[in-house]
């Protein structure tokens, strides 16, 4: 194991990096963040920040020189940078795993190779592919294969004559056309896998997205036990097939007939796992730090039913005027655990923080979350 007092590194300075820093520090490690922004959420709590781009060779070798192990916190981390780091220090996840997760085409093929189902889709790599669009995929959604997140890089398309325009509106980059499905529920599973090949999963989380962005997570998910087992097994299979080291999140669609489809995976802790900080024995960020430091994985047991509400920058704008939402009133509600990421500038759609609401039962957590939503002016959870 890596001893407390040693340095762990993280590529990326966002809120996931911030919560990783806090977890690693509480285990006694020092943390260095590499990020080009001087006011990043993770940089504000790290013991040290290297202020440079993610592909800066000098900065990467400085990070690898200082740290015993390095991880990442954002999905589009350059695979080349991970490879460079891996030459000099323990780096997880691997460049290979990140490269698959970054490319929807490879990601879907990988899920299928694992024997799992995905939404019906077709690849549109170039203009010539538009001639052979499968009409059964419409109405559908075109997604750029790379760099999409929070619903960005996606457009809905209803009719065959709209496909070209939709593809061009995404810049004519390689895309997948996916059938738009009637989804009963969206769920996700976090799997944590150590260098020794041992893995654990957290309880299945149920996610409510609004406008392509996660709005709320409810745990445990309101699905039957066999579906929950199936989802946890699927995520574990994917982590094993990737020989994954670190925290991996797999997002699924549940169809009305109970079929489970893999939507996508993220090679890092995930927004749908933020509830673990307050609701579980070990949080997803504790697990990330433990894996990096080669400590044993922690218990994933959930101590209380939880509802996590995302706080987007939209809440900071009222009638066009910038003002923070009434967090004090939300904090006063029993079971509410507010977290803010220290972002100085609110923008619509920007993730500013979250509130995890714990209950004595799921119904209680949902009722309290309803109170928090009402106080903050959030749409109620479904
Ligand atoms: P991102 O990388 O932006 O999270 P996703 O592919 O997960 O992209 O899409 C964001 C959200 O949009 C999903 O969580 C889901 O709510 C909705 N969505 C995406 N694809 C489909 C689809 N084929 N059918 C129905 N809803 C979809
Ligand atoms: Mg998603």
Q: Which ligand is nearest to the Cα of residue 249, counting in written order?
A: 2
Task: Output the CA 294–ligand 2 centroid distance in Å.
Answer: 29
- Phi/psi for 304 (5° steps) reads -155, 145
Four-residue CA torsion sign, 12, 105, 97, 181: positive
In the chain, which residues fall in CATH 3.40.50.20? 7-92
Residue pLDDT, tens place only, 97-136? 999 999 999 999 999 999 999 999 999 998 888 888 899 9
pTM of the model as a whole: 0.95
Verify whether ligand 1 is closer than 6 Å to residue 264 (CB atom).
yes
Find, among 38, 45, 37, 40, the residue nearest to 19 by Cα.
45
Q: Which two tokens stand for residue 303?
A: 């101590």
Find, among 298, 365, 301, 295, the residue nearest to 337 by Cα.
365
Could you tell which of 209, 262, 265 is best to mutate to test the pocket of ligand 1, judged by most ligand atoms within 8 Å of the CB? 209
Distance CA 65, CA 372 (A): 45
Task: Output the CA 196–ligand 1 centroid distance in Å.
Answer: 33
- Phi/psi for 285 (5° steps) reads -80, -35
Verify whether ligand 1 is closer than 6 Å to residue 120 (CB atom).
no
Could you tell which of 111, 139, 141, 188 is best to mutate to test the pocket of ligand 1, judged by most ligand atoms within 8 Å of the CB? 141
CB neighbour burial string for 268-292, b if at least 16 within 10 angstroms, e if fewer = bbbbbbbbbbbbbebbbbbbbbbbb
Task: Output the CA 34–ligand 1 centroid distance in Å.
Answer: 30
Verify whether ligand 1 is closer than 6 Å to residue 141 (CB atom).
yes
Q: Which ligand is nearest to the Cα of residue 212, counting in written order?
A: 1
Pairing status of strand 7-11 against strand 30-34: parallel
Residue whose CA lies nearest to ligand 1 atom number 13: 212
Residue 372 CB coordination number (10 Å):
24
pLDDT at 109: 97
Task: Output the CA 335–ligand 1 centroid distance in Å.
Answer: 30
Report which ligand 1 atom has the smallest distance to the Cα of 140. 23
pLDDT at 127: 86
Verify whether ligand 1 is closer than 6 Å to residue 209 (CB atom).
yes
Verify whether ligand 1 is closer than 6 Å to residue 236 (CB atom).
no
In the chain, which residues fall in CATH 3.30.1490.20? 120-179
Distance CA 162, CA 284 (A): 41
Distance CA 104, CA 109 (A): 8
Name the stretches of the chain with pLDDT < 70. Answer: 319
Task: Output the CA 82–ligand 1 centroid distance in Å.
Answer: 27
Topology, domain 185-376 = D-amino Acid Aminotransferase; Chain A, domain 1 (3.30.470)
pLDDT at 319: 66
Report which ligand 1 atom has the smallest distance to the Cα of 180. 24
pLDDT at 250: 98
Could you tell which of 151, 155, 176, 265 is best to mutate to test the pocket of ligand 1, judged by most ligand atoms within 8 Å of the CB? 151
Cβ atoms of 359 and 337 within 8 Å: the answer is no
Distance CA 137, CA 157 (A): 10
CATH number belonging to domain 120-179: 3.30.1490.20
Topology, domain 7-92 = Rossmann fold (3.40.50)
Cβ atoms of 284 and 190 within 8 Å: the answer is yes
pLDDT at 153: 87
Q: Which ligand is nearest to the Cα of residue 208, counting in written order?
A: 1
């Amino acid at each position: 194991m890596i001893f407390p007092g040693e340095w762990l590194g993280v590529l990326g300075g966002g809120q996931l990096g911030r919560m990783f820093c806090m977890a690693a520090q509480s285990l006694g490690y020092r943390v260095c963040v590499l990020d080009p922004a001087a006011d990043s959420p993770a940089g504000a709590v790290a013991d040290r920040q290297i202020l440079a781009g993610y592909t800066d060779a000098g900065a990467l070798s400085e990070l690898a020189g200082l740290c015993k192990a390095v991880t990442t916190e954002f999905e589009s981390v350059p695979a080349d940078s991970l490879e460079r780091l891996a030459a000099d220090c323990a780096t997880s996840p691997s460049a290979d795993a990140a490269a698959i997760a970054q490319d929807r085409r490879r990601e879907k093929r990988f899920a299928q190779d694992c024997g799992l189902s995905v939404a019906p889709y077709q690849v549109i790599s170039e203009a010539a592919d538009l001639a052979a669009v499968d009409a059964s995929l419409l109405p559908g959604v075109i997604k750029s294969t790379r760099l999409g997140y929070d619903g960005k890089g996606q457009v809905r398309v209803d009719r065959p004559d709209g496909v070209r325009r939709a593809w061009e509106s995404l810049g004519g980059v390689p895309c997948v056309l996916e059938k738009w499905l009637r989804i009963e529920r969206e769920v996700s599973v976090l799997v944590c896998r150590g260098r020794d090949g041992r893995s654990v999963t957290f309880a299945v989380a149920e996610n409510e997205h609004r406008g392509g962005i996660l709005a709320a997570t409810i745990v445990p998910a309101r699905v039957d036990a066999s579906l929950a087992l199936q989802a946890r097994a699927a995520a574990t299979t994917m982590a094993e097939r990737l020989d994954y080291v670190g925290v991996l999140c797999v997002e699924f669609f549940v169809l009305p007939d109970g079929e489970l489809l893999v939507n996508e995976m993220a090679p890092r802790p995930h927004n749908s796992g933020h509830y673990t900080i307050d609701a579980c024995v070990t949080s997803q960020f504790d697990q990330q730090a433990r894996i990096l430091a080669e400590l044993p994985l922690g218990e994933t047991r959930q101590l209380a039913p939880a509802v996590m509400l995302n706080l987007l920058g939209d809440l900071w704008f009222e009638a066009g005027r910038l003002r923070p939402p009434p967090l004090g009133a939300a904090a006063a509600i029993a079971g509410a655990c507010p977290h803010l990421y220290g972002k100085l500038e609110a923008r619509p759609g920007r993730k500013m923080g979250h509130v995890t609401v714990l209950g004595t039962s799921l119904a209680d957590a949902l009722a309290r979350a309803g109170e928090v939503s009402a106080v903050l002016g959030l749409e109620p959870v479904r």
